A and B are shown apart, each in its own frame.
Chain A
Amino acid sequence: MADKKKDVKPEFATREDVERAIDSLSSADEVRLEKFARYKIQGLGRKALGRDYEDLFQEAIKSTLIGAGDREEGRHWRKTNVTFVQHLFGTMRSIASHWKEAVDDNEAQLDSDSIVETEDGDILSPVENAPSNAPDQERSVAAKEQLGAIFRLFQNDDDAALVIEGIREGWNGPEIMERLDLPKNRYEAALKRIRYHVK
């Protein structure tokens, strides 16, 4: 609707703001954004469906531009509140999360579609009842291999292996340090080594 455009609040960035912000990115910002996007895509694994970090950038810009022209659609960069880099981090987090959820929902749908009710009223799920649980195994192979390769990288690095264990538990940085009794300098050094090897 035509009125929507007029309603866009002034604090929402325009296309020109976005263009200027891209031009103004520092080299450190460029690195942070690239590494962030690459890790987000790697974290999606097979759920990325062939997309790469450039696709994540593309989608983030597209969503930002939509938000620049419409207060109800896309992602709005509130330039008075957050930097462009922070905005892009947030937008990419959200997009990657949506991509992951879309695959999760689709798989949940596929599994529920295969559930059948017997004459006795029992619920049978071919996926859950398969002797080898083969579909789950197939889905998991790539992630399992990737995780295995990462663990092998740090089999002789106790601190890094501990940090990875903590991350797998779903702990945050301070929790990892506290629960594993890891001093901050050793935690940070281990995380740096993990980043160095896992790219």
Chain B
Amino acid sequence: MPKKNKNDEELHLLMSFLAESVTQLSDDQVKEEYGAEPKPRTKEILKAALNDCAKQKLREARTEYESAAKGLSLRSYNLPQDKLERRALLSSILSRQSDLRSLAFTAQHRELKDLTDSDVESFLRQLAELGLLASFLE
């Protein structure tokens, strides 16, 4: 284990001491010692940090979602190759599982014919991921 550098440690001791001494200052002392200095940007920096953290969370959530969506699209689910067959399969599933229809379609997409081929494929993949497709494909 190398010995700790003396100068580094002394500088650390001195600055830590000064840092702690600042925490003990009364409001009046702060005003007296630092009143002539430009106003600190503490609030501004802390709020920016708060917003950055929120944005970071959003970025992480988006990355996670995109990664999951990519995984879904890359995975092979043994879906019919033909788009008409895929549409027929979805139609068959929805007719036999009417509860899925209300879960699956928003008000403007209540009709299967309104869905694009891509929507149909995406929906089948999601059903497969949930394990709801296997019995229909057998």
Contact = CB atoms under 8 A, between A and B. Distances in A.
Contacts of B52: 58
Interface string A39-69: 1101111110000001001101110010000
A39 B47 contact: no
Contact of A89 (B23, B30, B39, B56): B23
A164 B7 contact: no
A138 B42 CA distance: 34
A120 interface: no
B2 A107 contact: yes
Nearest to B23: A89
A194 B34 CA distance: 13
Which interface class (under 10, 10 to 19, 20 to 34, 35 or more) fits B?
Answer: 35 or more
Interface string A163-199: 0100110100100000000000000000110111010
Interface in B13-60: 13-19, 21-23, 25, 27, 30-31, 33-34, 37, 39-43, 45-47, 49-50, 52-54, 56
A155 interface: no
A100 B8 CA distance: 10
Interface in B71-104: none
B49 A58 contact: yes
Interface of B: 1-2, 4-8, 10-19, 21-23, 25, 27, 30-31, 33-34, 37, 39-43, 45-47, 49-50, 52-54, 56
A140 B5 contact: yes
B13 A170 contact: yes
A43 B14 contact: yes
B16 A140 contact: no
A30 interface: yes
A27 B14 CA distance: 25
9 nearest CB pairs, A to B: A43-B15, A39-B19, A30-B42, A143-B7, A61-B49, A34-B40, A28-B27, A28-B30, A58-B49
